[in-house]
Amino acid sequence: MSENVVQRLRDEIENGIISNDFAPGARLDEVQLATRFGVSRTPVREALMQLNAIGLVEIRPRRGAVVIDPGPHRIFEMFEVMAELEGLAGSLAARRFTDADRTTILAAHADCERSFSAGNSDAYYYDNERFHKAIYAASHSGFLAEQCVALHRRLQPYRRLQLRVRNRVATSFAEHGAIVEAILAGDAEQARTLLRQHVSIQGERFSDLVATLASR
């Protein structure tokens, strides 16, 4: 079973949930999904298990996978924790990065620049994901990196949706530039502050996300 097939299915189902094509409380039938996407039930089952792991669906006895709506307050709480974890990762990365880490971070930043310049928000999302993972790795804290990756994955659909808000990709890329500068300058406190602000969705950004969710 191809990992790419599972990822594509997961993203398609995820998008369906976020766009309300699959409404909260709806049952996600494996056979129907397999037919809809032209695949066997095996990758569908794996995709649903991954969505269960991040809390977008719940696999229930005798009902199978059911769509879960975490609600705006829960999403806000997750972003709040993510901002703190990212800030810590950035701070440690500024203190601990190696030459190899520098190369990886700069390469990921260059990929983000290409997708931003192409105006492709979905491609930018995946390049952005690699950029953040490069910072986690540069923290040289295995446990912290694990927690960051796990929560990042839970927030993936909302982070992707947020990038579709007007001008957010441009703002995100500009913020990346300042983050890279702080980390490579060894400024741990500045890196922490910038990453916390980058991930936090206080005020207008949270209102924009909630409005976008409601419209979908």
Residue predicted with more confidence, 129 or 202 = 129
What mean pLDDT do residues 147-170 have?
A: 82
Q: What superfamily in CATH does domain 71-215 come from?
A: GntR ligand-binding domain-like (1.20.120.530)
Domain with CATH 1.10.10.10 in the chain: 3-67
Query: Is the C-alpha dihedral spanning 79, 64, 122, 147 positive or negative?
Result: positive
At 211 the pLDDT is 63
At 14 the pLDDT is 84
Highest CATH level, class, for 3-67? mainly alpha
At 5 the pLDDT is 86
At 177 the pLDDT is 97
Domain with CATH 1.20.120.530 in the chain: 71-215
Task: Show Cβ contacts of residue 46 under 8 Å, excluding neighbours closer than 6 positions.
Answer: 1, 6, 9
Convert the pLDDT of each residue in 176-216 to its tens digit: 999 999 999 999 999 999 999 998 865 456 666 666 655 65
CA–CA gap between residue 51 and residue 57 (Å, rounded): 6
Residue predicted with more confidence, 71 or 35 = 35
- pTM here is 0.78
- Bridge partners of 60, per DSSP, are 64
Q: Answer yes or no: is pLDDT of 1 > 60.
A: no
Enclosing H/E stretch for 28? strand 27-28
